[in-house]
Amino acid sequence: MHATAGIHHVTSIASDPQRNVDFYTDVLGLRLVKRTVNFDDKFTYHLYYGDEVGTPGTALTFFPFGNGTPGRVGRGQPSAAAFVVPPESVDYWLDRLDSAGVDRGDPVERFGETVVPFTDHDGQPLELVTGESDVEPWRGGPVPAEHGVRGFHGVTLDSLDPERTGEILELLGYERVDAAGERTRYRAASDRAAVVDVLDRPDAERGREGVGTVHHVAIRAPDEATQMAWREALVDAGLNVTPQKDRQYFQSVYTRDPGGILFEIATDGPGFTRDESVEELGSSLQLPPWLAEDREMIEGQLPPLDGGTMETN
């Protein structure tokens, strides 16, 4: 069986969709690579951001529920998503976040890397981590390419059962590589999005799902055969796993581990160019075939959305 190449995407819950687009394209300089709807709630957008084509390991996605209930970040949830930036870009990002009025903390050192913690306008915890990545930054946004985000570094999971969450990660091919304080690091064999940190905070407050929290973390499967093999292995490990679901841009199965973490296993293909050209990605609402006949009704219910800044650098 293959070992995972790391994180495929991270999906979070947001409030206003336009503010979401403005923050992730104008402030972080990511590309809006797909605007579609939540396939389980067709009157809510599902927005995807990433590099030029939303390469697995770069895609941060959101369900923007408008006036949804604020969540609380805590145990039983992924507690932060982290992006890679070049080591020499830390000062640039501190200035950029400050200029945009972003709530941030001071840089800290973690496992030999510099980490800049910050939150988006909904309180979503995010991090910039210095390091290397094989991902090319999106060159069509407002951030100069030499400072651009290079996909995910990884995620932090605030597990209710860190030992069992670690076992699930190892089943998927992650290796336990380090530990310090309340944090244990697992790493996949990959050049990007390879890191998962698991926290052990038995006395911390439990999280509550809502605006400003991560909904789930998707792990990469190279193909459907591997995905199905992992599904069987997870079932054998005592977890409830969903049947395969068609997400149009990948195939997915889901399971919630004993630590409260909702994992998705997503195939690398077919990718975001299956219904738009590279040049047109994210420029218009894309619907799956089973919702195509409802396009007029769906578009009438969704708020208008500007695609964000497009500058060349």
Question: What pLDDT is stored for residue 66 in this prediction?
Answer: 95
Structural tokens at position 199: 């926290």
- Helix axes 224-236 and 162-171, enclosed angle (nearest 10): 140
Contacts of 20 (CB under 8 A, 6+ apart): 14, 47, 62, 64, 120, 122
Structural tokens at position 220: 């990469």
The percentage of the chain sitting over the pLDDT mark of 90, rounded to a whole number, equals 96
All structural domains of the chain? 6-300 (3.10.180.10)
Share the mean pLDDT of the chain. 96
pLDDT in tens, 87-123: 999 999 999 999 999 999 999 999 999 999 999 999 9
pLDDT in tens, 11-46: 999 999 999 999 999 999 999 999 999 999 999 999
The three state secondary structure string of the chain is CCCCCCEEEEEEEECCHHHHHHHHHHHCCCEEEEEEEECCEEEEEEEEEECCCCCCCCEEEEEECCCCCECECCECEEEEEEEEECHHHHHHHHHHHHHCCCCECCCEEECCEEEEEEECCCCCEEEEEECCCCCCCCCCCCCCHHHCCCCEEEEEEECCCHHHHHHHHHHCCCEEEEEECCEEEEECCCCCCCEEEEECCCCCCECECCECCEEEEEEEECCHHHHHHHHHHHHHCCCCECCCEECCCEEEEEEECCCCCEEEEEEEEECHHHCCCCCCCCCCECCCHHHHHHHHHHHHHCCCCCCCCCCCC
For the entire predicted model, the pTM comes to: 0.97
CA distance 157 to 196: 7
Structural tokens at position 293: 């006949």
Question: What pLDDT is stored for residue 307 in this prediction?
Answer: 73
- Amino acid present at 215: H
